[in-house]
Amino acid sequence: MRKLLVVLTVLLVLGGLVVYHFASAGVTITLRQDQIQPKVESKFPVQRDIGPGARLTLENPQVQLKEGSDRISIAMNAKLEHGPLSVPGSVTVSGSLSYDPAQKAFFLRDASLDAISPAPLEKVRPILSSVLSEKLESTPLQGVDDDAVANKLVNAALVSVTVKDGAVRATFGAKSSSR
């Protein structure tokens, strides 16, 4: 009887460890470029009057996933018009991926302008930065439709983001408790 009790106790402890391991194991969600692209495109073109007779247009965004990066880049056409003068160019912005459990969606955060061309567009950098942050940071890049996965992510923290094999891999793990 005593041996049976010891064996049952050991099995119970091992079973608990297995359940704990799988309950705390990370969840990885993959976002492909072809999933992100339509969400970004839906927010463009953007036209903004930036002064008397001056207009800024941003259009044709292209999501770029760079292998090994932890950021998502978006290149697009830019055009600055002032009266009859028109300066076409391009800008590239990148941002980090974040997850909002309340909205069950991924968002781009911490947007930064990585490239502006040609030089005259540099004069409107603050406006470009503001417009791009406003548009991109409010756009859900991908929702989590599976309620079971979404519920698991409520109690998880985004621990790593990396681009691998042409897709963004977002890995979640247990939230660390602060004391």
Establish how many alpha carbons lie within 13 A of residue 174's alpha carbon, considering only the half-sphere containing its beta carbon: 9
> What confidence tens digit (pLDDT) does each residue in 47-78 have?
999 889 999 999 999 999 999 999 999 999 99
pLDDT of 3: 53
Instruction: Report helix, strand and coil shares of the chain as percent, to nearest 5.
Output: 35, 45, 20
pLDDT of 177: 57
**Residue 20 binned pLDDT confidence (cut-offs 50, 70, 90):** very low
The model carries a pTM of 0.78
Q: Is 90 exceeded by the pLDDT of residue 23?
A: no
Residue 140 token pair: 């859900």
Greater confidence (146 vs 38) lies with 38
Among 3-17, 85-99, 165-179, where is mean pLDDT lowest?
Answer: 3-17
Among 10-14, 75-79, 81-85, where is mean pLDDT lowest?
Answer: 10-14
Greater confidence (159 vs 76) lies with 76
**Residue 114 binned pLDDT confidence (cut-offs 50, 70, 90):** very high
pLDDT of 71: 94
Mean pLDDT, all residues of the chain: 83
Tokens 């859900």 appear where? 140
Question: Residue 164 corresponds to which amino acid?
Answer: K
> What confidence tens digit (pLDDT) does each residue in 97-106 have?
988 888 888 8
Burial 14-42 (b: 16+ CB within 10 A, else e): eeeeeeeeeeeeeeebebeeebbeebbbe
**Residue 113 binned pLDDT confidence (cut-offs 50, 70, 90):** very high
pLDDT (mean) for 109-121: 93
Greater confidence (9 vs 92) lies with 92
For residue 118, cis peptide bond before it (omega within 30 degrees of 0) = yes
pLDDT of 152: 79
